[in-house]
Copies of this chain bind each other. A is one copy, B any other.
Amino acid sequence: MKLVAWFSALVLFASAANAELVESKLTLPGELGSAVLYSDSSKTEAGPAVVVVHEWWGLNDYARGRAQQLAEAGYTAIAVDMYGNGKSTEHPKDAMAFMNAALAEPAKMNARFDAALAILRKQPAVDASKLFAIGYCFGGAVVLNQARRGLDLAGVASFHGSLGTETNAKPDTIKAKVLVATGGADPMVPPAQVGGFVEEMSAAGVDLQLLSFPGVVHSFTNPGSTAIGEKTKMPLAYDANADRVSWEALMAMLAE
């Protein structure tokens, strides 16, 4: 059985510096759904690679754009559809339904994540000792849970993700460095949840960097969130400063 079927590969740009960014749409084995890989085909040296997990809206342009942005920064990146159905939405009700369906099958989510990692490990420009994962909102919770599983990840980063867990990480099981960026005024990630998470990570012996931005609400890295927030009356809004500072922290983590 072939691990993945390449059903399209598109050269996004070829720059003067010989960078050639390629977007490849992939299907995951075992009917797990799809993913999109971004890589620089001119890269010859193996470097860090990143799994990107989307917000509760599903694998949309925003999540794909982040993976592409990582590839432009020199990293191989794969945006994986954690819902497995290729769907995305801008309606909170649908998003909630998609998310709850995924959360009801954690083993399937783990399998999707593992499949994405397996694809990264096969890329010529990927150093398998430097695998990272980042996630937004729902995806932030997903990547933290992957770290809690004790996977061999160099680091994970959660942006405005839920930080709670029903089962605290066991001491010394988390191998990944953990970066968390959270909005200080995000009602979905309230102070008690942030404090409880930091206590969990501290007790588990994790290398943790936490950034909390005052007055910032949910989905602050997504420029499209302000309009959706206004339309749906939900506490969603883009924040340029929090976006910039948290992205720079991620860049520093990947470059280390």
Write the residues of chain A forming the contact surface with B, with a CB cutoff of 8 angstroms: 182, 184-185, 190-192, 194-203, 205-215
Q: Please name all residues of chain B whose beta carbon is closer than 8 Å to the beta carbon of A199 when the two chains form the complex.
A: 191-192, 194-196
Q: How far, in whole Å, are A203 and B193 apart by their CA atoms in the complex? A: 11
Q: Are B214 and A206 in contact (CB under 8 A)?
A: yes
B214 close to A205 (CB less than 8 A):
yes
Q: Tell me how many chains of this kind the complex includes.
A: 2
- Which residues from chain B contact A202 at a C-beta distance below 8 Å? 182, 184, 190-191, 194-195, 212
Known: A195-B200, A196-B199, A205-B215. 10 other contacts (CB 8 A): A184-B208, A191-B200, A192-B199, A194-B199, A195-B197, A195-B198, A198-B198, A202-B212, A207-B212, A209-B211
Nearest CB of chain B from residue A256's CB, rounded to whole Å: 9
- Report B-chain residues with C-beta under 8 Å of the C-beta of A182: 202
- Least CB distance from A207 to B in Å reads 5
A72 CB to closest chain B CB (Å) equals 24
Are A205 and B192 in contact, with the CB atoms below 8 A? no
Q: Which of B200, B209, B212 contacts A206 (CB 8 A)?
A: B212
Instruction: Tell me the smallest distance from the CB of A204 to a CB of chain B, in Å.
Output: 8
- Rounded to whole angstroms, the CA-CA distance of A223 and B58 in the bound complex is 49
Alpha-carbon separation in the docked complex, A191 to B169 (Å):
13
**Nearest-CB distance from A150 to chain B (Å)?**
14
Most chain B CB atoms below 10 A, which of A192, A206, A209, A212: A212
Bound CA span A69–B121, Å: 44
| A242: nearest chain-B partner, CB-CB | B207
- In contact, B207 and A210 (Cβ under 8 angstroms): no
